[in-house]
Structure 1
Amino acid sequence: MATNETINSSEQIEKSALAVFGGWFTSIHGYSSLTVCFFGIPTNLINISVLSRIDMRNPTNALLCWLAVADLLTMVPYVPFVIHFYCAFDPYDYSPEKFTFPWAVYMLFLINFVATTHTISNWLGVSLAVFRFVQLRSTTKGPVAKRRLYSTILKVITGVYVCSCLVLVPNYMSNKIVEYTDITTNKTAFFIEDIKLGTNDTKPIVLVNVLTYSILTKIVPCILMTVFSGSLLISLNLSGRQRRQRLSVTSNNARRENRQAKTTRMLLVVIILFLVTEFPHGLLILISTVVPKFYQNVYTPLGDLMDLVALVNNAINFLLYCIMSTQFRTKFLEMYFNKLSSFEDRERNQLTTSLNITTTSV
C-alpha cells in the first residue's frame, strides 16, 4: 500500500513527468477511492449473500464467496484511512495534527492487513484456476463426488486464509513507527519508518521480507494463474469444438457444456483482472529491491494509482457476475426484487379473482 512514509522520502522524489503525474493522482485519490469503496462494499455483501445460499453452494461459488469476503475485508478498513489522510487533510500535509500516534498505528495495521487480504485474494485466484482446470478434466460425476469436492475446496480456502497470515508474519515485523519532533512547535508527528528500499541502507532482513512478499504473494500466484488460464483457454476451445459436433445428437449434454463454458469464461475474466492488477505490482516491488532509486522515482509516484486499480478489482466482480452468469443474475433478482414481484403478483391474482367473481355473479 502506498503511504507518505516520511518527509525526507517525499522530498527525494525527482520532479519527473512520472512524479508530476503521481502528485496529480494523489490529489484525486481520496474521493475516487471512496467512490469505488462505496460501490464495492455493498456489492461484495451482495456477492456473499447470493453465493452463500444453500441452493447456490458448489465448489466454484464457495471460492468466489470467500474471494468476496477477502475483497470486503480489503475495502472496509481503507475507508477511514483514506478519509483521514486524503480528504480531511491535504495528502501532502505532514503536520502532527494529521500524523498522530493512533493514526500511525492504524496506518501500520492497514498496511499489514491489506497485504494479507491481497495475498488471500491472489491465492484464491490460483485455487479458482486450478480447480476449474481439474474440474474440466475430471470424469468423476455424481452427488457423492460433488460433496467430496466441495469439502476439499473448503479445506483449501481455510488453508489459504491461514497460510497467508503465517507467511506474512516476517513482513509485519518489517514496518515500524518512528517519531519526528518539530523543534519550533515542540509537537511530535508519527510516521511509518522508511525502509530505504533500493539503497545501501536497506536492512538485510527487510530486503528478504520484501523479496519474499513480492515473490510468494504476487509473482508466483500470477505465474500459476497464467499457466492454468492458458490451459483453460485450450480446454475451452477443445470443448467448444466437441460441443458443436455433438449438438445435434445430445442436446441436453450440449446445454450443460454450454453452461460450463460460460462459467469458465467468467472465471477467466476474473483471473485476468487479477493478472492485470497484481503482476505489475509484484514486478515493481521486485525491481525496487535491486534498482537504485527506483522505489522513490517510480514505485512511490505510482503507489496511489496501484491502490486504486486494486480497489477497482475488488469492486468489479459483482458486475461481472451479473453480466456473465445467468444463475447469479437470476438468484440476485429473486433475492432482492422478489418482494416487489410477489406483491405485484398478489395484486394481479386478487384482481383476477375479483373479475372472476364478478363474471360468475353476472
Structure 2
Amino acid sequence: MDIICERFSKPYFETRCRNATMNSTVNVTPYKSENLEYFSITYSNWHGYISLITCAIGIPLNIINIIVLTRKNMQTPINCILTWLAVADTATMISYVPFSYHFYCRFSAFTISSEKNSWVWMHFLLIYLNFSSTAHTIAIWLAVALAIMRHHHLHSPAKGSITRMRRLIRARLVVCVVVCTSVILLIPNYLSHNLEEVRFRDNTTGYVFEDWEINSGHAKPIRLVSLIVYGSLAKILPCALIIIFGSLLLRTLNKTMQNRRHLSENGVTISARRHADPSRTTSMLLVVIVLFLITELPQGILIMCCIFLQNFFENIYIPLGDVMDMLALLNNSINFVLYCTMSQEFRSTFIALFCSFSCTHERRKPYISSHYNGDHLLVTLNSVEHTG
C-alpha cells in the first residue's frame, strides 16, 4: 500500500506524509508557486527515462575519454586532470542508474511504499546521496585546478621534458589533494542524513529521511553546518575561482588572438600545427569550466537561500532537484564531444586507437585456399588485406 505525500516533495526525503491508516495530516505547508509544482510533477514522470538514456550515452563516452587520455602520447598535466574528471563523471552516472530506475521508473516519484522504501533501497539511497555529492565536489574542484594550472602554464617560461614531468607529478598530487579534501569537507554532510521508520496500513514498514526542518528553529546544528559548508566551499567558492581564473584565461586568449591578427596584417606567416596551438587547448578548457559554472553555481545559490529564506528548501529547492540533476548529467556526458571538436590531438589518438583497429580487422580477412600436389589435396588458411 502506498502513502501519498500531502506535501509536495520527493517522498524519500519527506517524512510528513498522510498515513493511509491514520488519515491525518501533519503540519502541511502549501506551495507558493503552482506553476513550479506542476512543472516538477510533470517532469518527474519523464526524468527517470531521460536520465537513463543520458547515462547510457555518457558512461561509454567517458570510458573512451579515460582510454584516450591515458595513452602515452597524451600524458600531460592537463590531461591528467581531465582523466580524473572523466572518472568522477563516470562514477556519478553509474551510481545514478539504479537510483533513477528504482525511484523514478519502477515506482512513481511521489509515492512511498514498503517495497520502494525498503531498508535495502533506502540505505542504498543514503550511500548514493553521499557518494554523488562527493563526486560532484571532486569534479568541480578539478575544474578549478584545470583553470589554475592552465593559467600558470601559459605564464610559465620553463619548458623541456624535466619541467613536463614535474608538472605531471604536480597534477597527480593535486588530484590526490582534491579527493582527500573533498571527502573531509563533506563529513558534516555524511552525518546529516538519518532514516526513520514509517508503518503502513497493511502493517508493513518502510523508511524515509528525517525532515531537516530548515528555518524552523529546531534544525540540528550539524545539518546547518553541512548546508553552509556544502553551499559555500563545494559550490560558491569553486565557482568564484572558476570565474576569476576563467576570466584571466579569456583575457590571455584574446591577447593571443590580437597578436596573431596583428602579425597576419603585417604579412607575417605563423607556422604551427593545429594540434599544437595552445589557444585551442585554452578555448576547450574554457568551455569545460564554463559548463561547470552553469551547472553548479545556480545550485550553490539555491543551497545558500535554503539557509536564510523560510520554506525555500521545500518550495523551491526540492521541486528543482530533478532539473539540477539532469543538468549535471548532461555536463558529465558532453566532454567527449568537446574534446573531439576542439582537440586535434585527442581526435587523432581516438582514430588511431579505435578506427584503425576496426580497419585492420576489415582489411585482413581469412580465406581458405586449396590445390593438388600430385595425388594429395592441400588446404591452406590464409589472410589477405583489402585496400578498398
Q: Aligned residue for 2:147?
A: 129
Q: Aligned residue for 2:42?
A: 24
Q: Aligned residue for 1:164?
A: 182
Residue type of the alignment partner of 2:13: E
In the alignment, the residues of structure 2 paired with residue 227 and residue 203 of structure 1 have an alpha-carbon distance, to the nearest angstrom, of 35
| Correspondence 1:50 to 2:68 | yes
Q: Aligned residue for 1:6?
A: 14
Q: Aligned residue for 1:236?
A: 253
In the alignment, the residues of structure 2 paired with residue 127 and residue 341 of structure 1 have an alpha-carbon distance, to the nearest angstrom, of 38
Residue type of the alignment partner of 2:226: N
Greater share of residues in helix: 1
Q: Is the 8 A contact 1:100 1:189 kept in 2?
A: yes
| Correspondence 1:69 to 2:91 | no
Q: Aligned residue for 2:3?
A: none
Partner of 1:68, secondary structure, is: helix
Distance change (3 Å), C-alpha of 1:84 and 1:344: closer
Which fold has the larger relative contact order, with Cα–Cα distance below 8 Å and residues 6 or more apart in sequence? 1
| Correspondence 1:85 to 2:130 | no
Q: Aligned residue for 2:239?
A: 222
In the alignment, the residues of structure 2 paired with residue 256 and residue 42 of structure 1 have an alpha-carbon distance, to the nearest angstrom, of 27
In the alignment, the residues of structure 2 paired with residue 233 and residue 129 of structure 1 have an alpha-carbon distance, to the nearest angstrom, of 11
- Of residues 285, 289, 292, the one that matches 2:307 is 289
Q: Aligned residue for 1:357?
A: none
Percentage identity across paired residues of the two chains: 41
* Farther off after superposition, 88-97 or 302-311: 88-97
Partner of 1:179, secondary structure, is: strand
Task: Report the alpha carbon displacement of residue 118 of structure 1 after superposing the two structures with TM.
Answer: 0.3
Q: Aligned residue for 1:200?
A: 217
Task: Report the alpha carbon displacement of residue 201 of structure 1 after superposing the two structures with TM.
Answer: 2.3
| Correspondence 1:191 to 2:208 | yes
Partner of 1:251, secondary structure, is: coil
Partner of 1:198, secondary structure, is: coil
In the alignment, the residues of structure 2 paired with residue 108 and residue 13 of structure 1 have an alpha-carbon distance, to the nearest angstrom, of 27
Residue type of the alignment partner of 1:230: S
Work out which of the two has the higher radius of gyration on C-alpha atoms and give 1 or 2.
2
Task: Report the alpha carbon displacement of residue 84 of structure 1 after superposing the two structures with TM.
Answer: 0.8
Task: Report the alpha carbon displacement of residue 133 of structure 1 after superposing the two structures with TM.
Answer: 0.6
List runs of 5+ in structure 1 lacking aligned partners. Answer: 353-362
Partner of 1:46, secondary structure, is: helix
Q: Aligned residue for 1:359?
A: none
Partner of 1:244, secondary structure, is: helix
Distance change (3 Å), C-alpha of 1:55 and 1:306: same
In the alignment, the residues of structure 2 paired with residue 203 and residue 104 of structure 1 have an alpha-carbon distance, to the nearest angstrom, of 21
Q: Is the 8 A contact 2:363 2:386 kept in 1?
A: no
Aligned-residue RMSD, C-alpha: 2.1
Residue type of the alignment partner of 1:6: E
| Correspondence 1:271 to 2:289 | yes
Task: Report the alpha carbon displacement of residue 113 of structure 1 after superposing the two structures with TM.
Answer: 0.4
Residue type of the alignment partner of 2:35: A
Q: Give the TM-score normalised by the residue count of structure 2.
A: 0.85
List runs of 5+ in structure 2 lacking aligned partners. Answer: 1-9, 19-27, 366-382
Greater share of residues in strand: 2
In the alignment, the residues of structure 2 paired with residue 204 and residue 245 of structure 1 have an alpha-carbon distance, to the nearest angstrom, of 59
- Of residues 303, 307, 321, the one that matches 1:303 is 321
Q: Give the TM-score normalised by the residue count of structure 1.
A: 0.91
Residue type of the alignment partner of 1:251: I
Partner of 1:159, secondary structure, is: helix
Task: Report the alpha carbon displacement of residue 351 of structure 1 after superposing the two structures with TM.
Answer: 6.5
Residue type of the alignment partner of 1:79: V
- State how 1:307-346 maps to structure 2 within 5 Å: 307-343=325-361
Residue type of the alignment partner of 1:274: F
